[in-house]
Structure 1
């Protein structure tokens, strides 16, 4: 038996989990649009929910 490989995450132009969290908020808002890597905005639609959960977990476990 072997584990199934995890799906590859898209390469996102994000520099931090904080930026990722802002991106996730935008993705779930009415302003969500498909944009390319050449956009001045850091986000693209379709960031996996797992990444948003990761950012949330980081915020909860961060220093007080």
Structure 2
């Protein structure tokens, strides 16, 4: 009885899985592409004048959600 139940469950699952349609989402993209995003970030970033005068360097890490 367990074997029959397992076979029926598996068959139902496989039939359902084969009728499902793949849904692809379009990944979000910055208007104008990667080059436009880099250009935008370069245009809005501000480096402190005091750091420029003292030749202080650092690293900026940007994350997007």
Shorter chain as normaliser: what TM range? under 0.3
Mark the structure with the bigger radius of gyration.
2
- Give the TM-score normalised by the residue count of structure 2: 0.25
The structure richer in helix per residue is 2
